[in-house]
Amino acid sequence: MTAPGDLQQAVFLRLRSDASLSALLGGAGLLERPTDNAAFPYVTCGHTSAFDWDTGIENTDDQLITLHVWSKAHGDAETLAIMAAIQVRLADAALVIGPRGQTRLSLEFAEARHDEDLLVHHGLLRFRAMTQENA
């Protein structure tokens, strides 16, 4: 099974190669873990779940990876623009993660909301990653 950290690295590598997303985030806005002094807007990786569907005939594994978009801009336009750029870059993307095979991403869930307590706009994107093992 592909390690969740390997999937996160592959996803972030693909996102870092997108000039339009980098421009929206102001350069270094992809963070593995949030920090207290992080400049807004930024994207972090949240919960990752893994499932093994090995049938003995076909070996596949399935992971869910959640990305969080954080913005302090007035209104939700910035959050939605960043989410759209991430969706374009990752939806149906095929990633090679190690020697095992190819991982294909598909968008499972997207939501944008305003967090009144933190005074930030928070976007969530959950992708399903299906890895097909090489024969």
43-87: per-residue pLDDT in tens? 999 877 766 655 555 555 788 999 999 999 999 999 999 999 999
Per 3-state DSSP, what percentage of the chain is helix, strand, and coil (rounded to 5)? 25, 40, 35
At 7, list the tokens: 């999937």
Which of the four pLDDT bands, split at 50, 70 and 90, describes residue 131?
confident
Cα gap 88→19, rounded to integer Å: 13
Q: Which residues contact 119 (CB under 8 A, 6 or more apart)?
A: 72
Instruction: Please state the domain count of the chain.
Output: 1
- For residue 108, pLDDT over 90 is answered with yes
pLDDT computed for residue 15 by the predictor: 95
- What domain range includes position 51? 4-33+41-133
Q: Whole-model pTM above 0.75? A: yes
Torsion of CA 9, 124, 102, 130, to 10 degrees: 130
pLDDT computed for residue 134 by the predictor: 61
At 54, list the tokens: 């090995």
**CATH classification at residue 92:** 3.30.2000.30
Q: Summarize pLDDT for 14-47 with one digit per residue, the tens.
A: 999 999 999 999 867 899 877 888 899 999 998 7
